Chain A
Amino acid sequence: MSLFEHHLYTSPLKRPSRLLRAGWLTASVGGALLAAACGGSSSTGGGGTTAPSATPSSVCQGTTAPPGYTNGVSTVSGQATSLSGAGGTFIAPMMSIWTSQYASSNGVQVAYQSVGSGAGIAQLQAGTVDFGESDAFMTDSDISKAKGPVVQVPLAQAPVTVAYNLPGVTRGLHLDGDTIGKIFAGQITSWTDPAIKSLNPNVTLPNLPIAVVHRSDGSGTTSIFTDYLTKESPSWVSALGGPDKSKGKTIAWPVGIGGKGNEGVSAAVGQNNGAIGYVELAYAASQNLTYADVKNKAGDFVEPCVKTAASATVGITSYPADLRIDVVDQSTNTDAYPITGLTWGLVYQNQTDKAKAAALVNFFSWVLTKGQDMAATANYTPLGSDLQKLCIAQLHKLTLNGSPVAP
């Protein structure tokens, strides 16, 4: 089973060998998650056992149809044959599929360094890469440190799951924002707490202390997750001392175990009965984690999957011109999975090299059309159609010595 196979139903994770393949070694030195994950491809067995969920969710059944966008920018001629980029680790496995496919279909080599969102922004500011990538958009102060205005293009939607390890409890535990907030603030310390029980009247919860697991490295995943907690959980906000301190890539976690990277979090969750942590969907699905159905704005408990994450931008119409928008917990759609953010590609608006400018526009246009079809099959979430149109429009903003690269 590869990292990108779609798992609908899963058994609780107890699988050191899978974690081995998923690349503790490489990820800890900064990336190449994909290469390691694809290294071994034989299953240890048992991954396909169907466990009954606490509440069957019909939305996530079946395969996800690729969006099939065709509205790309018409190809700009005279492009360079190589591009370099750097940024978040979240998009890295997706990016390596994109870059290898793009190299074989279009003959352009795109080298992507999976160094983290902060480092991606820093490298763009220093001008050492052709494009940057980040799980949080560049703020005004970030842009002021760059060499000019930056065009920010969402590349995919990024759902974050709340994964847990409870003996006897299968997937689909119901949790709402305030309960999750209290758990991560250390205010709910036992799985038999009335707050959890009242959300799950039909589930027999084991009498275990809760082991909170969070990221120890600064992360866009943390940013998306704590953004949701900040919007939904007053207890979380007051425990952290205000909304400015309760969301971001680094958090002063009051309790818990810090795991390095998604793999560190999932290892710690897998090893401790009673553990709870947050992991990106693509990773959680490939690792067979059990994760919760989370309450959204419409009041429904929604299972995270590509379909429900795609619904997270349904109904949002008021996008700002620079597309710097926070979509976490915004949609009122009943199927929307609320802990869903965006991940951004970052390019200088005023390009100076004609060949590089052409290659950038062509690559991003391809990612926003054909690339989106590949996303769904890899457990990444394609952009909603409204947002995708605006992203294509962003590409038209790129200029070369004052005139548009793609008219």
Chain B
Amino acid sequence: MPPPADAGGGIAVMRPGVSRVSLRRQRRRWGDTVFGSAVALTGGLVLVVIVGMVVFLVLQGLPAMQHYGFFSFITAGRWAPSEADPTLTHPNPYGILQFMYGMLITSLIGMIIAVPLAIGAALVITEIAPRRLQRPLSSLVDLLAAVPSVVYGFWGIFALIPAIRPIVDFLTSTLGTVPVIGVVFGGPFFGVSYFTAGLVLAIMILPIIAAVWREVFRSTPRNEKEAAFALGATRWEMIRIAVMPRARSGIVGASLIGLGRALGETIAVTMVIGNAVLHINPSVFSQGATMSSVIANEFTEATEPFHLSALFVVGFWLLVVALIVNVVARTVVRRGVAL
């Protein structure tokens, strides 16, 4: 059956050979073109921006990369701009392994703490809390997600550090004295540390992950949940068989959003990590730095030879590491979520 002449804008009927094209349809075809190219433009723009950013980072980092060698940055773990000498190409004073370590360890601590808490928070809001409490709890989580990161850093210094100090002092005096693992929990604790940064990150990403999960859990059809109950499932079993399987992709997505924010978070981390750039400190209670924190700290006065260029190299590797971690995390979380 041929489509009716006034069928709403089906592209298939707009053949150039058709002679009786109404004015209305012509206008619509023009609109389609505009809309189509506008969408293509915005989509393309995103690509152009990303590619442009990578090209820019590489171009700016090129002087340092050419001088010291492309891979020398990620094989060295000592950042000492004051030792840079334009006539020496080895050793590279701009090693960035310790920043990668700092970035990964703080994000790891943050995720380990935030993910279970966020699952709990999201489930409480959607399934467990009384209906009267669901809405206020829900808005509180949204509110937390909207707090600017600098406020988290600020709060971390003046509220979190004094609060955790007795606990960490206890840990360093007990766990810290055990052979082997004591290295990881050694003191003295001066407030700012990898652990503090991880904790602040956990609190920052928790509401973001919880807010997305809340929406994901809410999207479970009511009749499926009731069907689970009808089959005699307990509340936990209902969550496991009715809510979780549907939420899988959402769980992956939310975790990645949280991880993304944790990896790239700059100012809050800079305020509480202690900014020790020289080398990796083995204890999680000692000071360190992340890739973004070193850029934030040093770009204004990057006056040593190749210093600014080396910071662009850090930016480049930050992008690469973030990309790799995202891909790996996506794969791992997808597989792990099959409950």
**What's the Cα separation between A117 and B154 when bound, in Å?**
26
Query: Distance in Å from the Cβ of B128 to the closest Cβ of chain A?
Result: 37
The interface stretch among B33-41, B117-125, B130-138, B266-274 is: B266-274
Q: Is A171 an interface residue (CB 8 A)?
A: no
Query: Distance in Å from the Cβ of A243 to the closest Cβ of chain B?
Result: 11
Q: Is B162 an interface residue (CB 8 A)?
A: yes
**What's the Cα separation between A274 and B83 when bound, in Å?**
29
Residues of B within 8 A of A366 (CB): none
Q: Chain B residue with minimal CB distance to A217? A: B297
**What's the Cα separation between A275 and B301 when bound, in Å?**
25
Q: Which of B83, B277, B300, B301 contacts A245 (CB 8 A)?
A: B83
Q: Is B303 an interface residue (CB 8 A)?
A: yes
Known: A245-B83, A268-B191, A272-B190. A218 touches B298 (CB 8 A): yes
Q: Is the CB of B275 within 8 A of A251?
A: no
Which chain B residues numbered 267 to 320 have a C-beta less than 8 Å away from chain A? 267, 270-271, 274-278, 287, 289, 296-298, 300-304, 307
Q: Is A13 an interface residue (CB 8 A)?
A: no
Q: Is B192 an interface residue (CB 8 A)?
A: yes
Q: Is the CB of B154 within 8 A of A24?
A: yes
Known: A252-B278, A254-B278, A258-B276. A241 touches B83 (CB 8 A): yes
Query: Distance in Å from the Cβ of A254 to the closest Cβ of chain B?
Result: 7
Q: Is the CB of B191 within 8 A of A258?
A: no
Q: Is the CB of B190 within 8 A of A116?
A: no
Residues of A within 8 A of B243 (CB): none
Q: Is the CB of A118 within 8 A of B300?
A: yes
Q: Chain B residue with minimal CB distance to A220? A: B301
Q: Is B82 an interface residue (CB 8 A)?
A: yes
Which chain B residues numbered 70 to 93 have a C-beta less than 8 Å away from chain A? 78-83, 93
Q: Is the CB of B267 within 8 A of A271?
A: no
Q: Is the CB of B275 within 8 A of A257?
A: yes
Query: Distance in Å from the Cβ of A122 to the closest Cβ of chain B?
Result: 9
Q: Is the CB of A268 within 8 A of B150?
A: no
Q: Is A248 an interface residue (CB 8 A)?
A: yes
Query: Distance in Å from the Cβ of B274 to the closest Cβ of chain A?
Result: 5
Residue of B82, B162, B275, B287 with most chain A CB atoms under a 10 A cut-off? B82
Q: Is B30 an interface residue (CB 8 A)?
A: no
Which chain A residues numbered 236 to 257 have a C-beta less than 8 Å away from chain B? 240-241, 245, 248-254, 256-257
Q: Which of A117, A241, A245, A253 contacts B278 (CB 8 A)?
A: A253
Q: Chain B residue with minimal CB distance to A271? A: B191
Q: Is B236 an interface residue (CB 8 A)?
A: no
Q: Which of A217, A252, A257 contacts B301 (CB 8 A)?
A: A217
Q: Is the CB of A271 within 8 A of B300?
A: no
Q: Is the CB of A260 within 8 A of B270?
A: yes
Residues of B within 8 A of A28 (CB): 150, 267, 270-271
Q: Chain B residue with minimal CB distance to A135? A: B301
Q: Which of A115, A259, A275 contacts B275 (CB 8 A)?
A: A259
Known: A260-B271, A260-B297, A267-B157. A118 touches B276 (CB 8 A): no
Residues of A within 8 A of B82 (CB): 240, 245, 248, 250-252
**What's the Cα separation between A252 and B278 when bound, in Å?**
6
Residues of A within 8 A of B303 (CB): 118, 121, 218, 249-250
Q: Is A298 an interface residue (CB 8 A)?
A: no
Known: A218-B303, A257-B190, A271-B162. A25 touches B298 (CB 8 A): no
Q: Is A216 an interface residue (CB 8 A)?
A: yes
Q: Is A56 an interface residue (CB 8 A)?
A: no
Q: Is A72 an interface residue (CB 8 A)?
A: no
Q: Which of A24, A115, A118, A241 contacts B302 (CB 8 A)?
A: A118
Mark B155-188 against chain A: 1 for CB-CB distance below 8 A, else 0: 0011001100000000000000000000000001
Q: Is the CB of A264 within 8 A of B271?
A: yes
Mark A112-154 against chain B: 1 for CB-CB distance below 8 A, else 0: 0001111101000000000000000000000000000000000
**What's the Cα separation between A59 and B14 when bound, in Å?**
93
**What's the Cα separation between A226 and B78 when bound, in Å?**
20
**What's the Cα separation between A129 and B93 when bound, in Å?**
33
Mark A17-38 against chain B: 1 for CB-CB distance below 8 A, else 0: 0011000110010100000000
Q: Is the CB of A16 within 8 A of B276?
A: no
Residues of B within 8 A of A260 (CB): 270-271, 275, 296-297
Q: Is the CB of B192 within 8 A of A257?
A: yes
15 A-B Cβ contacts within 8 A? A20-B158, A24-B150, A25-B154, A28-B150, A118-B303, A217-B298, A218-B303, A250-B303, A250-B304, A251-B82, A252-B80, A252-B83, A256-B287, A258-B274, A275-B190
Q: Can you add 15 more A-B contacts, CB < 8 Å, to A218-B298, A253-B278?
A: A116-B300, A211-B190, A216-B275, A216-B289, A217-B297, A218-B301, A218-B303, A241-B83, A250-B303, A252-B79, A256-B276, A256-B287, A257-B274, A260-B296, A272-B191
Q: Which 6 A-B pairs have the closest CB atoms?
A: A218-B301, A258-B275, A252-B80, A216-B275, A116-B300, A118-B301
> A interface vs B, CB < 8 Å?
16, 19-20, 24-25, 28, 30, 115-119, 121, 209, 211, 216-219, 240-241, 245, 248-254, 256-260, 264, 267-268, 271-272, 275
